[in-house]
Structure 1
Amino acid sequence: MESNLIAVVCLLAFMAICCTVDAAPVNSSCPLPPKLGSTYDYDWKSKPHEWSNPNVKTASLQLALSWSPTYCASLSKGERDQQFQCKPSNDFGLIVHGLWPQASKASSVKDHPRNCRNEKQLNETMIKRFFCMMPGEYLQQSEWEKHGTCYFATATDYFTTVEKLYKSLNIPDIRAMKNPTATTIKDSFLKLNPKLPSSSIKVIMESSRLKEIDICYGLNLQFANC
């Protein structure tokens, strides 16, 4: 009888922890759209330039951080008007593009795991919870299905891992830098993150503007060579 009671208590504790993860309060420290789109599901088969590579083993992970001003500047005015991330009043900076499973030996991007399984549309609570680091419902949905499904069992596993890695980084004030270059941006990251090896970060520029920063991790979520 006593052992059964202990088992019930443990089960209730486990359920409480799980519910806490899924029902975390909405992050309100950044602008949120008044209403999400009703349809933002992702279907790689409808994308002419997409492909599926589900049978490749994941050897490492790459956290891709996108510089919003450069991304938004690459869009037409009509496209920018449709992107909540790009509205001038929202002022998003370095956001998460995605967390990408990587193969150990890849000669091209098509050698990495990609579009491993179809998943249902994420619910609104999930989208809003992670909106500040990934400001777009379609961005979250597509990154989860395109990359997350190739290593993570659930969307919660994927996004909480992304959140953990993202929040563990000290992000330099890139806007305050005068004429930033790949070298000065990388040096700033290394200075603010003493445990980050130089070999674990890549800074990608587009002309003279920051485009993306990639941070590489092993499957143990420790820094790894890119």
Structure 2
Amino acid sequence: MRGAAWGVALAVALLSSPAAAQAYQCRIPQGPISVPAIERDGPVREMRVTGYTLALSWSPEFCRFRDDEPRHARQCSGRAGRFAFVVHGLWPNGPGNSWPQWCPTRRAPSPLEMAQAMCMSPDPALVSRQWFKHGACMTPDPGAYLRITQILWDSLRWPDFDRLSRQRDLTAGDIRQTFADANPYWEAEDVGLEVNERGWLREMRLCYGDDFMPQACNRQRYGPDDDEDVRIWRGL
């Protein structure tokens, strides 16, 4: 079952239209990157996978108060380029509002695999954590987890979020519909959002079925109602 689902995912992604590049830039690191050790911070939960969430973090908001923190230097300092959305993680979903996590594994991404992921997820500790907490519940191969994440990421087309951020009276529904209009096969109901307590966009959470095709988000992943006001920080 697991192998069949991954085969479908690869076929779907490879048949997708080429992605339009984002306006922000990134430079792939030269040479391998060390793989940080990750400590489990929650219980092991093994269960049937019923779908997936591709969580995408909006970097200008994430970096808003972190641009001088050494841990986030690659993503936030500007020395490696400027980032817009980046992959927070590809998460398996379980039945209802549950999800599998921290499935046992002794494998870790290789330094080369880490380096190749840095323009998608520019924090080595984040990439490592996503594999150990989520990816190991999807496949025994960390390279396969990162490849399918990259394929899903590359299949997306990006509207101009800088322009969208300047729209007056912007709502969550406007953001969802703008993304759906730019991406064939996506509907606004497939796009979840997370905003912070100040009403600024933090993440977009794209909802997939167990066949890796877009599907409507449940209430937990959908986030704010369509008529709620949302602001998008562009950075300085």
Question: Is the pair's TM-score, using the shorter chain for normalization, greater than 0.5?
Answer: yes
Within the alignment, does 1:189 sit opposite 2:179 as a pair?
Answer: yes
* Residues 155-194 of structure 1 aligned to structure 2 (within 5 Å): 155-177=142-164, 178-179=166-167, 180-194=170-184
C-alpha deviation, 1:35, in angstroms:
6.6
Match of 2:121 among 134, 137, 144: 134
Counterpart of 2:194 in structure 1 is 204
What amino acid is aligned across from residue 148 of structure 1 in structure 2? G
Q: Tell me the distance in 1 between the aligned counterparts of 2:177 and 2:92.
A: 26
In structure 1, the partner of 2:73 is: 83
SS in 2 for 1:83: helix
Offset of residue 135 of structure 1: 0.9
SS at match of 1:172: coil
- Mark the runs of 5 or more structure 2 residues left unpaired by the alignment: 1-24, 218-236
Matched letter for residue 172 of structure 1:
P
Secondary structure of the equivalent of 1:139?
helix
| 8 A contact 1:199–1:225 mirrored in 2 | yes
More helix by share: 1
Aligned-pair CA distance for 1:53: 3.1
Q: Are the equivalent residues in 1 in contact too, given 2:45–2:101 (CA < 8 A)?
A: yes
Q: Once superposed, what is the RMSD of the aligned Cα atoms?
A: 2.2
State the one-letter code of the partner of 1:40: P
How far 1:82 sits from its partner (Å)?
A: 4.3
CA displacement 1:24-53 (0-9 Å, x = unmatched): xxxxx7224467664512121xxxxx2123
For residues 54 and 81 of structure 1, the distance between their equivalents in structure 2, rounded to whole angstroms, comes to 29
Paired position in structure 1 for 2:52 = 61
Name the larger-Rg structure.
1
Of 27, 30, 34, the match for 2:26:
30
**Quick one: structure 1 residues 39 and 98, their matched pair in 2 at CA, closer, same or farther if it must change by over 3 Å?**
closer
What is the aligned partner in structure 2 of residue 223 from structure 1?
Answer: 214
Question: Per-residue deviation at 1:102?
Answer: 0.6
Q: Cα deviation per residue 1:57-108 (whole Å; 9 max; x = unaligned)?
A: 2111000010011111253x653564311113421110111000111212xx
SS at match of 2:63: helix
What SS does structure 2 have at the residue aligned with 1:169?
A: coil
What are the superposed Cα offsets for residues 96-125 of structure 1, whole Å, 9 maximum, x if unpaired?
A: 11000111212xxxx311111243442221
Distance 1:208 1:165, change over 3 A: same
Change over 3 Å in CA distance of 1:154–1:121 after alignment to 2: closer
Q: TM-score normalised to the size of structure 2?
A: 0.72
Q: Secondary structure at the match of 2:115?
A: helix
Compute the displacement of 1:56 (Å): 1.9
For residue 26 of structure 2, what is the amino acid of its counterpart? C
Seq. identity, %: 27
How far is 1:182 from its partner?
A: 2.2
Q: Counterpart of 1:114?
A: 101
Residues 66 and 212, structure 1, Cα contact 8 Å, conserved in 2: yes
CA change 1:84–1:36 in 2 (3 A) is farther
Aligned partners of 2:138 and 2:71: how far apart in 1?
34
